[in-house]
Amino acid sequence: MKALNKLWGEFKKFITRGNVIDLAVGVVVGAAFTAIVTSLTNDIIMPLINWAVGGDEGGLSSLCTVLKAVYMKDADGNDVLDLANFLVINWGTFIQAILDFILIALVVFAIVKVINTIREAGSKLNTQAKREKELKKRARRIAKEQGISSAEARKLAEAQLAAEEAPAPAAPAKPTVEELLADIKSLLAEQVAKDGADKNSSEDKE
């Protein structure tokens, strides 16, 4: 039961995370934007492509390759296509879907790029404003404590902030496995050489 309540709480938090008004505006704008893209594709781009590939009146979406044509007799005895059984590749419709996707992706990318640029600029201005506020606060305190001018106090405050904002020294890199193995090999070689020298020295004494 406890796990079920936890799961239900997480689900409620998930579904109530978004703002209803923002979501509604997004849906309306998205629908209008889709209509604009569809009109641009069908009314401007498609006629040009249709004209380039031969001027079919049905537009690009009507361009297809029939793999198997199946005919049937209509009420007047004429041969007509059996739409339920004939096989066709609608590559015109596929190209139209690709164009729609590319247009939507380009516009969405441009919108996101602009939003991110504005957000980064706002964040930068906010950071600069906070730093300036802290700088003035420190300068006033330093001027009061040391009895110096505001210009000198500001220079000292800037030096303090610069020292605090300086990146910490990087930690020494950990040795790699190859380096550790090389060190061990070197130590073993030194130990073997030392043991050999001690053995030769003891034999000479005997």
What digits encode the pLDDT tens for the residues 153-169?
Answer: 888 888 877 777 777 66
Please say whether the beta carbons of 79 and 73 come within 8 A: yes
Please say whether the beta carbons of 53 and 63 come within 8 A: yes
What are 100's two structure tokens? Answer: 């729609």
Please say whether the beta carbons of 62 and 88 come within 8 A: no
- Chain CA centroid to CA 47, Å: 35
CA distance 31 to 94: 21
- At position 40, the amino acid (one-letter code) is L
Give the per-residue pLDDT at 17.
63
Whether the per-residue pLDDT at 56 is higher than 60: the answer is no
Please give the residue that has the higher pLDDT: either 59 or 48.
48
Beta-carbon count within 10 A of 135 CB: 15
CA distance 120 to 113: 11
CA distance 136 to 154: 7
Per-residue pLDDT band for 199 (boundaries 50, 70, 90) equals low
CA distance 129 to 111: 27
Per-residue pLDDT band for 171 (boundaries 50, 70, 90) equals low
- Sign of the torsion angle spanned by Cα atoms 150, 156, 160, 162: positive
| Residue carrying structure tokens 């579904």 | 15
Percent with pLDDT over 70 in the chain: 79
CA distance 61 to 41: 11
Express each pLDDT in 98-133 by its tens digit: 887 888 788 878 888 888 888 888 888 888 888 888
Per-residue pLDDT band for 53 (boundaries 50, 70, 90) equals low
| Residue carrying structure tokens 């906010």 | 126
Helices 46-53 and 91-146, interaxial angle, to 10°?
Answer: 140
* For residues 133-150, average pLDDT: 83
Whether the per-residue pLDDT at 70 is higher than 80: the answer is no
* For residues 37-50, average pLDDT: 78
